[in-house]
Structure 1
Amino acid sequence: MIYQTLRQYPELFQAMTGLTIPAFDALHDEIKPLWQEAETATKRSGLRLRRIGAGRKYGAGFRERLLVACLCERRLLPTAEIAALFSIHPSTVNRYHYSLRDLMQKKSASYRIGKQERSGLTELVDAFPVLAELDSVPLGQERIK
């Protein structure tokens, strides 16, 4: 998982997300129950074709979703490059960001998720060479050489 790898590099984690690791963990602990309530309310509203829980399970945990949303809020990378970093589709990046955006904006004043723009992934890798070492191969798949 990208979160576990980035956690080993606190300076890089803070530069990418705008949060220290303890601040990110505190934000996670505050937002997760609110997000779960919102998800439950969304699932219970309207007509459903399947029962709750019958669909496909989430591929990423909540920490990964929050990390993606922090990167989107920070505006360091375009959506396509965040998707490549996490080995997910760009529409998934947008869905993760949209589902957490309002909750994060309510809490961002206390956590200061600053916005800092970069032109792309190459500029970010130049600034933080350790990013080139991150293993972005999806679980259960082999690295193509």
Structure 2
Amino acid sequence: MVGNEARSLIVSNGRITGLSPGVIGELVADVGPLWHERHRVKLASRARKRAVGAGAKYKLVFVDRLLATLVHLRHGTTHDVLACWFSVDRSTITRAIGEVRPLLAERGCTIAPGLRLRTLTDVLEYLGASGRTAILDATEIRVRRPAAGQPDRDRFVSGKSKQNAVKVMVLTDTEGRLLFCGEPRPGSCPDITQARASGLVGLLGTGPWVEILADAGYQGLGAQTGNQILTPPHRKFRKNPPTWYEEKHARERHIHSSRRIRVEHGIAHLKNWRCLARHHGRREQLPDSISAVAALLSHQQSINRAWSQAA
């Protein structure tokens, strides 16, 4: 277990966890009781010969478990390195990350104190009530190639990057703040298919009217959603277009691209967390990692925004 001096260094240095001390303090206050309660229920649910609380005690307290998880998500640090750092066995780190990461993933994207968006329905209701515009895009995360002989092995090969990857749908606002990260799908899945499979089209048809900016990969969704999803303008002249039309078309595409560039900034902030730049673990752990990073990043963004408004 790390000493108080090393623990203070991890908390105070934002380059290690990517979070400010205030955000880490809120995580300890919010997630700590949940972890302790789940641990108590787990102990009480199985047959025992000794009372709950008897026997050997955990070497790794909850604060250290949380810090180990944050360092792993931020820098992709291996469990072996973290085990040496925290002076515990590798299996202890693996178990700690496996317990804390789902709790972080359940928090959802923090927009303001007391306001968190956990589902796509929550996001659209927030956008409809606030009148804000959202920006839609997809990003790819490289993963390990499935073992030989497994079915659908080639489904993870991305047609864009020609590498094994999964694709994640991302929604941000016009300031680049994260609103939602969807379930990862194999890299061969087209952007528009992923949006339809997420239920976005159906929710836009039944919920409040919102404006969502998207790139050319989502062309066709505008007609299905009553022009709630805006994509770059189509090219009407395929051959020998007039000069005036070329200039008009280029100008309209530039305006649209300028409006939706902030989603690229939001995705870049996501990829600053090394576990999402390239995932080396099991693919079934990736959804929790994506949701956890989105929750942590959005929480820090909301704090930074509050500080800038106060200043």
TM-score w.r.t. length of structure 2: 0.34
Residue number in structure 1 paired with 2:48: 48
Percent identity over the alignment is: 25
The 3 A distance-change label for structure 1 pair 25 and 3 is: farther
Q: Does 1:116 align with 2:116?
A: no
Deviation at 1:2, TM superposition (A): 4.7
Letter aligned with residue 22 of structure 1: G
Residue number in structure 1 paired with 2:74: 74
Q: Does structure 2 conserve the Cα–Cα contact (< 8 Å) formed by 1:2 and 1:64?
A: no
The 3 A distance-change label for structure 1 pair 109 and 60 is: same
Which 5+ residue runs of structure 1 have no aligned equivalent? 119-145
Deviation at 1:16, TM superposition (A): 1.8
Structure with larger RCO (C-alpha < 8 A, sep 6+): 1
The 3 A distance-change label for structure 1 pair 10 and 101 is: closer
Q: After the TM superposition, which of the residue ranges 53-62 and 71-80 deviates more from structure 2?
A: 71-80
The 3 A distance-change label for structure 1 pair 16 and 2 is: farther
Aligned residues between the structures: 118
CA distance in 2, matches of 1:52, 1:79: 29
Deviation at 1:91, TM superposition (A): 0.6
The 3 A distance-change label for structure 1 pair 10 and 55 is: closer
- CA RMSD between the two structures: 2.9
Q: Does structure 1 conserve the Cα–Cα contact (< 8 Å) formed by 2:28 and 2:63?
A: yes
SS of residue paired to 1:110:
strand
The 3 A distance-change label for structure 1 pair 55 and 6 is: closer
CA distance in 1, matches of 2:43, 2:73: 25
Deviation at 1:108, TM superposition (A): 6.2
Letter aligned with residue 52 of structure 2: I
Q: Which has the larger radius of gyration?
A: 2
CA distance in 2, matches of 1:52, 1:85: 29
Q: Does structure 2 conserve the Cα–Cα contact (< 8 Å) formed by 1:3 and 1:67?
A: no
SS of residue paired to 2:109:
helix
The 3 A distance-change label for structure 1 pair 8 and 63 is: same
CA distance in 2, matches of 1:9, 1:17: 7
Letter aligned with residue 32 of structure 2: K
Which protein has the bigger strand share?
A: 2
Q: Does structure 1 conserve the Cα–Cα contact (< 8 Å) formed by 2:10 and 2:16?
A: no
Deviation at 1:50, TM superposition (A): 2.3
Residue number in structure 2 paired with 1:86: 86
Deviation at 1:62, TM superposition (A): 1.5
